[in-house]
Structure 1
């Protein structure tokens, strides 16, 4: 705790001097209290919970049980381009190209054809020329538009042929 030490000053010439008092504080209990409070607040604090997006991968070598009218295929291409078509490549659907802007793929995912069909599945496929950033961007767009059913799928040969014939890429 606090101690008061008296320093006796010698007298000079018969005059008596006032005693100087020197105080010394022991800081150990205050440091102990600070660490106890710090420990208490660290242990009783609720940490923020991680928010994550659930992703279900398709079963390997499994058949997709999606009907043609319930499929939207999104193909990530080179130079941040997004190609999409409704249905499957074997049916020769019309292919459209867009980008990641608000009037791009977000508008397609938020359209009535996708939003009103509760069985709609968005199949996301990436080409070799696409970047990892494109995959993250499309997953962000899926989350923004609150699309319930989507899957990452492998780009098949018939998808590549359809893109070559329709887009020329």
Structure 2
């Protein structure tokens, strides 16, 4: 509430006039401000974290993966990847170097997945092998590509010595 206080003015002023002091009580305004702040905090939706589901294998006997369905992606340096289908010593599709462009890794995954599905009737299994010279963003880009192309089975495994040798031969290790 506002209050007016009348008090006599000091010397030098016109006689008969009184100075009025105005005092405004801001308690109600502060209460309203806190109510509004509380309302907006409670009703605001904060950014929800985005995460990709990752399923880890259960301990126990391991089943073998058929070479005809094994698609291997080896991450190298300079945002390049090497991929092949089958085993490295006897590949069905020989090792090929590509990048993360639209006609790169995604195209290779889609085309190879279609071939594997037409041949075996099952989906392919992707093995992602990051090297010591690859960067974290390449791993994230690879997982994004697998998610976009809807590959149901993939695993992140340690890179083997033959794969490192193949990366060195291709000049991306």
Which range, TM-score by smaller chain?
A: 0.7 to 0.9
Deviations for 1:58-96, whole angstroms, at most 9, x for unmatched residues?
Answer: 457963543222221000112222100111224334111
Q: Distance in 2 between matches of 1:83 and 1:40?
A: 54
Higher strand fraction (1 or 2): 2
Provide closer, same or farther for how the CA distance between residues 74 and 12 of structure 1 changes in structure 2, counting only shifts above 3 A. Answer: closer
- Work out the CA distance in 1 between the residues paired with 2:97 and 2:11: 100
Gaps of 5+ in 2: none
Question: Match of 1:128, SS?
Answer: coil
Q: Which residue of 2 aligns with 1:95?
A: 95
Q: How many residues align?
A: 166
Structure 2 partner of 1:144: 148
Give the root-mean-square deviation of aligned CA atoms.
3.1
2:105 aligned residue:
105
Displacement of 1:123 in angstroms is 0.9
Distance 1:60 1:77 in 2: 30
1:51 to 1:10, Cα distance in 2 relative to 1, 3 A: closer
Q: Which runs of 5 or more structure 1 residues have no equivalent in the other structure? A: none
TM superposition shift of 1:48: 3.2
Partner residue in 2 for 1:32: 31
Task: Supply the distance in 1 between the matched residues of 2:158 and 2:60 (Cα, whole angstroms).
Answer: 11
- TM-score, normalised via structure 2 length: 0.76
- Does structure 1 conserve the Cα–Cα contact (< 8 Å) formed by 2:85 and 2:91? no
CA displacement at 1:158 relative to structure 2: 4.0
Distance 1:53 1:82 in 2: 22
